[in-house]
Amino acid sequence: MASIVQFENVGLRYGMGAETLSDISFTLAPGAFYFLTGASGAGKTSLLKLLYLAQRPSRGLIRLFNEDVVTMPRERLPVLRRRIGVVFQDFRLVPHLSAFDNVALPLRVAGVDEGEIADRVGEMIAWVGLGGRASARPATLSGGEQQRVAIARAVIGQPEMLVADEPTGNVDPDMAARLLHLFDALNKFGTTIVVATHDMHLVSRVPSAAIMRLERGRLEDPTGALRYPPRVPA
């Protein structure tokens, strides 16, 4: 089976404490939609960090885009990292840049020309409902507005995989539905989506998604997601 991510017996330990994640094994199919659920402290953010290469595991094997990222030299990781869009739980917007320039960042890094950037970023900012706030700095935006800028920045480059940590935690239900629709649209174009959330209402809105559940650092498999990804667009 083709896979975009493969974890085998992965463990993660911070410092000298007990393992935060233990015996994590799963495969993600390209083009599928996954939710990662679990109580606060179960290890969702830690698992996502392994996925977007912000953290190395203490043991086990991780393959990403068919490359072994555990033994890969550190300087090669940024090349893989650029293929992943990340929505951080704490947004991580660049404070001295406007909403527009934050969203434009991945396109500028990729060398896209400014005319195209103006069109694509303008359209994306309007889509997330921030049309009137494009020139605002992050500090002057509400938490929900910052979250939408963070989402727009993560998806603007049409990444092969989108990893989002509680991406609708700060917005009202209508905006959450709209943002989920954006993820779904991206997914239909082939992006693999991994959304960590403890909002089961959000999970129920994407019936075709597979669900992975973390329970005290161990992975459960309520929908059989780990063996049979349920949806791979043709």
β partners of residue 60: none
Angle between helices 143-155 and 173-188 in degrees, nearest 10:
0
Contact flags string 104-143 toward ligand ATP, x per CB under 6 A: ----------------------------------------
> Of these, 2, 8, 9, 41, which contacts ligand ATP (CB under 6 A)?
41
Residue 46 as a binder of ligand ATP (CB under 6 A): the answer is yes
Residue 170 as a binder of ligand ATP (CB under 6 A): the answer is no
Q: How far is the CB of 27 from ligand ATP (least distance, A)?
A: 21
**Which pair of structure tokens corresponds to residue 96?**
């001295």
> Of these, 1, 40, 71, 111, which contacts ligand ATP (CB under 6 A)?
40
Q: How far is the CB of 57 from ligand ATP (least distance, A)?
A: 13
CA angle 183, 4, 28 (to 5 degrees): 70
Distance between CA atoms of 46 and 196, rounded to whole angstroms?
11
Percentages helix, strand, coil for the chain (3-state, rounded to 5) are 35, 25, 40
Distance between CA atoms of 5 and 47, rounded to whole angstroms?
12
> Of these, 44, 133, 148, 153, which contacts ligand ATP (CB under 6 A)?
44
Q: How far is the CB of 70 from ligand ATP (least distance, A)?
A: 19
Contact flags string 183-212 toward ligand ATP, x per CB under 6 A: ------------------------------
* Options 44-52, 135-143, 155-163, 186-194: segment touching ligand ATP (CB under 6 A): 44-52
* Options 37-45, 56-64, 145-153, 201-209: segment touching ligand ATP (CB under 6 A): 37-45
- Between the alpha carbon of residue 200 and those of residues 124, 194, 234, the distances in Å are 27, 15, 28
- Sequence-ordered strand ranges (E) for the chain: 5-13, 19-28, 33-37, 59-64, 67-68, 84-87, 161-165, 192-196, 210-215, 218-220
> Which residues are at the interface with ligand ATP (CB under 6 A)?
14, 20, 38, 40-46
